[in-house]
Structure 1
Amino acid sequence: MAKDLFPIINVAAIEPVRAFYERVFGGTLAYRFPPEGDPVYLTLRIGTGQLAIGVGTGPAMYGQVPLPATGHAVDICLYVGDLDAARAAAPEAGGQVVVPAQDTPWGERVAYLRDPQGTMLLVIQDTDG
């Protein structure tokens, strides 16, 4: 069962988009990567939810550039208690495993799945229980 769900907006430049969400919706920085220098990814808290913003100008782990011009501007991110179970269930439910589970440099274990209609899902192993 999924625990958290939040969108990742892929952009050409993070700071203007960050400023928009902070100003218009009161977003506050919850996470950034890397910790120093220009961010390539950040998460904002907005109300009780979260919104992630990532640089989407080059191919992502699944090999495609996630820009609006390609018809794919947002990845749906889900934290799950059992990444292997989600990965195994995807094909059985009409989906596809695009990137098998792997450890990332930022310390999470992730996989990319595609739902039956083509939506890209970044599925992350929940380590908080």
Structure 2
Amino acid sequence: MKLGYVIIYTNNVEASVTFYEKAFALSRRFVHESGQYAEMETGSTALAFVGDELAQSNVASYRKNTPAQEPAGIEVALVSDDLDAAYQRAVAAGAKPVNPPQTKPWGQQVAYVLDNNGVLIELATPMG
């Protein structure tokens, strides 16, 4: 097995794609004409978005992502060589600050924001 996708369910796929382009400097890899599925360029493991309508046809029920609720107990980690710039860009694009950049005991720098769907995003420098 290998990790193929991380998929975020959203009520607006296009808005999520546009947000990730602005906040995290990611490029769109694929957007389906239905507007219910998209992928971002994130390396070998794809970050994808699925519209709630399509998600509900795949999964009987789930807690919808919304900025009005606490984030789910999961995070998406994005890696950057310049954490301070990545954090500032995300916040300037509308990401909600959670924790500013700080250095962890193992030497890695990390910061946390919420995306436009209320999903917890870790911004981090590469390990080792």
TM-score, structure 2 as length reference: 0.42
Relative to its length, the structure with more strand (as a share) is: 1
TM-score, length-normalised on structure 1? Answer: 0.42
